[in-house]
Amino acid sequence: MDRVALRGLKARGHHGVFPREREEGQTFIVDLVLHIDARPAAAEDDLAKTVHYGVVAEEVVDVVQGEPVDLIETLAERIAQQCLKHEAVAQVEVVVHKPDAPITVPFDDVTITITRSRA
């Protein structure tokens, strides 16, 4: 499979188990790898035969900004399912970063990485 990668999509969401996270929100960063077969699009130079990564980026931001969930695992799953709605996407790897997680010791980032395929 070929891969289209989007790195560093940023959006503010209100996800988390603590009231402060829900009330104040925080920035989430999402990285995606969309597994596609790029040959049909390349052969005909046709956007309709691939995945429009600009549309995917907007949809991912909408998911992050949307209905709050407790866990970044749930957020990652919702993002993956949205990506798989695109016919050209056979598999997706989603990394959700939560750099402002409420942790009491110094840290750089918290992430969840999931991979989902068409059923």
| Cα 44 to the center of its chain, rounded Å | 28
**Is 10 a catalytic site residue?**
no
Taking the C-alpha atoms of residue 14 and residue 87, their distance in angstroms, rounded to an integer, is 30
The answer to whether 61 touches 110, Cβ cutoff 8 Å, is no
Q: What is the DSSP letter of 93?
A: E
Instruction: Report the phi/psi class of residue 8: left, alpha or beta, with left for phi > 0 and alpha for psi in -120 to 50.
Output: left
Active site residues: 98
